[in-house]
Structure 1
């Protein structure tokens, strides 16, 4: 006797009818997803391509980096990055860039430390008249390094002084601030101290600045109570306001605004070769969770102003304070350092 259960044609046909629509729906869904991925990839490529085209307007220099003793500082304990930001009042021409930006002095110098997890950023300002050892040139103001040897010597000087390896460097001419701020629609800046300059009034408190006002705000020091120290604070406040606008949802969600912002800044920007568009995108992805509230602004430890035997007005270094900062950078514990020293 055959125990095989007879097949049920109606049941078989129903199962097939059920499976076929499901398969068709699955195939259609996969096709739609594939199309979306393809279109998304195409749009992403075009978007990144437009950003790259805008960014490549910058000037580029090669860094031959080595500390004064021929050895660069040891790598930090963590996997974070250090970027040196310099600001100059003299526009870097193509000829000057080809000569590694010689002849300029960096009126603004900030060391940006980005931890590996991208959760925070630590911006440390150095007084432009800080009296330090410049490799091959003896003691001088720290801002003279750019004049003596361009970006490579500026990097070497800061690496030596902080005992910290610097991964990238960027020099911006102050004139670029005007276009950058105007592209962002202006920025709301905290003005620490009231002053007037060039017919513009800056009043203590929060003030909306356009590009021209932001440029004057970043440059002024003579009318401020503590001169260059107060200007450093103003520049930090401006940088914080710009970063807050750049990191806002309105800017990040607008490809056109991002492209226009980069295009406005790039002609005034000089970087090392390694800080190319791919690296910028990678840094953006790694630090995508940054917000203005996670930017910590610090001042490098220093002593009081004094006059050298040669009659130069300089700012004394603070070796004890610097050792604390060097340790924090080396051990990647800037969070602990900032908790004690952030403004």
Structure 2
């Protein structure tokens, strides 16, 4: 392939705005909600994060692909984003432990990618106008046809997507002789969450998103985990019922991202779709309990209504996003339950918040004694 003669490509936003670029060589047309990530590294982990399912990713970093890919740097067994928009796509890579180039990796996953886009202007436009549905096309589909097809794509608000990424059958992770047993509800779980639990001597049984509390309880766990995942938390009524049952029996439970939102909804605390969401590895969070700041990895387009949380006498706000004051963490005053909106497992991102996994283990120990 002559990279200098690449086909023209197009990005169409739902409001009719058009950006032009070039194809990296994979032909097709894809749809999804356009969003951007501000991370400078960790693109492979981002592309394989199940929380991004159904979204077209705009990489704000100017260079993508320059360090290739590695078989270990994945958060799921396949690419989860719908498509990629970037400025400079590197067809050559250089890293000691890389196994293949990003283009070859995308070819295996048939991921449509458009490069040579003015991503600085695009990110600025999304910031001003909000996340919206979009289409990227590299196969010559006309603008008129793209507009018709894009109009039929459902909005993320009200969309249930955990069923698209969750495991179909339960599976085990870790040492069967480990000190603790954890039942994890897979709403779109990341591999590094499981690694963090296993690292803390947990034997984890991962259950499909539509499992019942009785299913999770049958493992006779010491604690429960509600995972991250894509889409709107409101349609996940089954997961909310699981959360209610766990709390009724006052069992230790830890929720991350979508799991955090499910816990809120299970207690009558509303969630809402954000204008842009938080996606990146440098989001500042204040721990209200300690007064300390944390730099965190975040990936979410929905959030918990802070006013609802503060009105609920059974809950307390534990963390807040410093940039906009949104809910970043909460806990129940009389239950063994806490959750955060961000990703303490990082991958990619800083490890400032990894102590939350230790806190989960401490809660399990308290419940056992």
Instruction: Please give the TM-score of this superposition, normalised by the length of structure 1.
Output: 0.23
Structure number with bigger Rg: 1
Instruction: Please give the TM-score of this superposition, normalised by the length of structure 2.
Output: 0.21
Q: Which has more helix, going by share of residues?
A: 1
Q: Which has more strand, going by share of residues?
A: 2
**Higher relative contact order, structure no. (Cα contacts within 8 Å, ≥ 6 residues apart):** 1
